[in-house]
Amino acid sequence: MTNPGDYITTELGRQPVIMTRHRDGSVHVLLNRCTHRGAKVVNERSGHAPRLVCCYHGWTYDTDGRLTNVPVPEGCGEGFDKANFGLARAPRTGEYRGFVFASLAATGPSFEDHIGAMKGNIDDLVDRAPDGELALDAGMHRYVYNGNWKLQVENVLDSYHVPFGHASTVNKQGVQFARREGDQKGAAVIETEKKQTATTWNDRKSFIVGNGHGWTSNTTLDDGKRSSPAFDAYRKVLAAKVGAERAAQILTPRLHNSLIYPNMSIMGLNIHVRVIKPIAVDRTEVTIYPIRLVGAPAAMNFGNIRLLNVTHSAASFVQTDDLESFVRTQKGLHSTLTDWVDISRGLGAEEPDRELNATRGLATHEMVVRAQFKAWLGYMREAA
Amino acid sequence: MAAADLAGIDRTPFEQFLIHEAALLDARKFRDWMALFTDDGTYWVPAVPDQQSPFDQASLFYDDRDLMKTRIDRLEHPRIHVQTPPSRTAHLVGNIVIEEANDTTGEYLIGSTVIMVEYRDDAQRTFAGRQHHRLRREGGAFRVVQKRVDLINCDSAFEAMAVPI
């Protein structure tokens, strides 16, 4: 959304919204509902319009949500004032490095307090772009499943499931297919001789920083050997922009998945941003945006986009087995003879990470799931 | 070749090829299906209507031979959860049109409409769209340089898809 008049439509939770770029450059998150008789005003997923016109009676709004025109205005009551009939807006929004966050709640923790340390995880992604900017203009992957939204949220930081859940993506040597531009091979997941999860996998760490947020440390790959014409050209461009030392720092993988609770994740391996939308208690829609690193050679961006098809499209090798697990979990949880699930792995094994100002556990433990439920319970209590 | 000349070409061998390809998919003979592709062959299912390129936009599938092999290794893996139980499919191919033909190079572009009904785990769903096969005559047989399937709902949100269309 670079130009005035650009818009996208989406949902905040289950509320239809329009996000617009106004003439003064400001971003507005508006309820996609005409203030007259309630019709959804914009029906396209994205586009460009100088004004937003309702299909039903032609009420017309400026891109900042102000009502500017009402056909046959003399029919409106004497006290009718257009100023009172602008599109409703998300009570609070926050922006960070091009990402716009919106809340439906008028009160509560501020954006800054909520996002807290997770700004660093956004930086980790955005800094990879030689021009310091991302473009989410490479389409999207959209998938749905018959399951609760929390199943996807838990999964993004769950490293325990990979050796079994994604067994079908691991070759006879216990190694997953290569997933990053320039990688010659993928991560070691299973020690096939011992028939056990690879030590490198078991050693992966996870981190929590309050509010339900967290991340997992990077997958151990053949770092240092990463090379392809596209990747080498990208590394060169990045180094020319930020210096060789800083480029090396940026390209040292720190993060695998990051979760900005409750509904956004960033993946550092097959770079993408994911937004999770609850539709019903047992229905969830997920949108995954490939990332174009602005300033990177086209071939590098093409490589990222191509590999994301393989891992995260609705027809991908990886995401599909997760979806099957979510659907089966939902089916299992519909049963009533037993109420409990077990998320106690690593309980008591958490330790402070003073350098990162976070709490650290093993990524194959369930500390992150407990942190998510703690945050969720807090929000539910506040709402009650 | 002009449209009038294209209309004069015998459609039968192309039709037989498309029916054979669909039968391999319905029989889950994925390796035989892959063998229909040239070494530089690609299988593409775009994620937006009229997608211009598989490189700068997300796609549902964009597999070269290496990725096709990884996909099929996975489809044959005993622990592919999303195929436990496996999908059963029925492809219907029709409305076949020879859109380009070059007898000198032996390359042809064949458009057709495909409907695939998929049943799995007590649920049935339908995929439909226009597909294009770029075929190359090698020896006595056709091989696929590119198969592109433009689903009418390509930009919708899908439940997990495991088998090629």
* Tokens representing residue B153 in the block: 């709902």
Give the residue from B159, B127, B20, B87 showing the smallest Cα distance to A142.
B159
ipTM for this prediction:
0.95
CA pair distance A278, A3, nearest whole angstrom: 30
Q: Is A294 exposed, middle or buried (0-12, 13-18, 19+ CB in 10 A)?
A: middle
A282 touches chain B (CB under 8 A): no
| CATH code at position A254 | 3.90.380.10
A139 touches chain B (CB under 8 A): yes
Q: Domain for residue A1, yes or no?
A: no
The tens digit of pLDDT for each residue in B42-51 reads 999 999 999 9
B59 touches chain A (CB under 8 A): yes
Sign of CA dihedral A353, A372, A188, A274: negative
Say yes or no to pLDDT of B4 above 90: no
Structural domain boundaries, residue A286: 110-383
Domains of chain B by residue range: 3-151
Q: Do both A173 and A303 map to the same domain?
A: yes
Residue A367: left (phi > 0), alpha (psi -120 to 50), or beta? alpha
Domain B3-151 in CATH 3.10.450.50: yes
Interface mutation target, options B68, B82, B125, B155, chain A, most CBs of A under 10 Å: B82
Overall domain count for chain A? 2
Q: Which residue is closest to B161 within chain A, CA to CA? A: A315
- Residue by residue, pLDDT tens for chain A (384 residues) are 999 999 999 999 899 999 999 999 999 999 999 999 999 999 999 999 999 999 999 999 999 999 999 999 999 999 999 999 999 999 999 999 999 999 999 999 999 999 999 999 999 999 999 999 999 999 999 999 999 999 999 999 999 998 899 989 888 888 888 888 888 888 888 888 888 888 878 888 999 999 999 999 876 666 678 899 999 999 999 999 999 999 999 998 889 999 999 999 999 888 999 999 999 999 999 999 999 999 999 999 999 999 999 999 999 999 999 999 999 999 999 999 999 999 999 999 999 999 999 999 999 999 999 999 999 999 999 888
CB-CB neighbors (< 8 A) of A326 in chain B: none
Interface mutation target, options B56, B83, B121, chain A, most CBs of A under 10 Å: B56
Distance from the Cα of residue A356 to its chain's centroid: 22
pTM (global) more than 0.90 = yes
Q: Do both A68 and A115 map to the same domain?
A: no
Give the residue from A43, A135, A56, A148 showing the smallest Cα distance to A98.
A135
CA pair distance A81, A85, nearest whole angstrom: 7
Q: Which residues 161-190 in chain A show a CB within 8 A of chain B?
A: 164-165, 167-169, 171, 177
The DSSP-derived string for B79-133 is: T-GGGSSPPEEEEEEEEEEEEEEETTTTEEEEEEEEEEEEEETTEEEEEEEEEEE
Give the residue from B47, B73, B48 showing the smallest Cα distance to B61.
B47
Phi, psi of A203 (to 5 degrees): -80, -10
CB-CB neighbors (< 8 A) of B73 in chain A: 171
Q: Do both A131 and A76 map to the same domain?
A: no
- The one-letter amino acid at A351: E
Alpha helices in chain A (DSSP H): 111-115, 119-126, 149-156, 162-165, 199-202, 229-242, 244-250, 298-312, 319-333, 367-383
Interface mutation target, options B59, B83, B118, B155, chain A, most CBs of A under 10 Å: B59
Q: How large is the angle between the packed helices A319-333 and A149-156, nearest 10 degrees?
A: 130
Residue B158, min C-alpha distance to chain A (Å): 5
Q: Do both A119 and A21 map to the same domain?
A: no
The DSSP-derived string for A147-189 is: S-HHHHHHHHT--SSHHHHTGGGB-TTSBBPP-STT-SS--B-
The DSSP letter of residue A247 is H
Q: Domain for residue A100, yes or no?
A: no
A145 touches chain B (CB under 8 A): yes
A55 touches chain B (CB under 8 A): no
Q: Which residues 101-140 in chain B show a CB within 8 A of chain A?
A: none
Burial B10-23 (b: 16+ CB within 10 A, else e): eeeebeebbeebbe
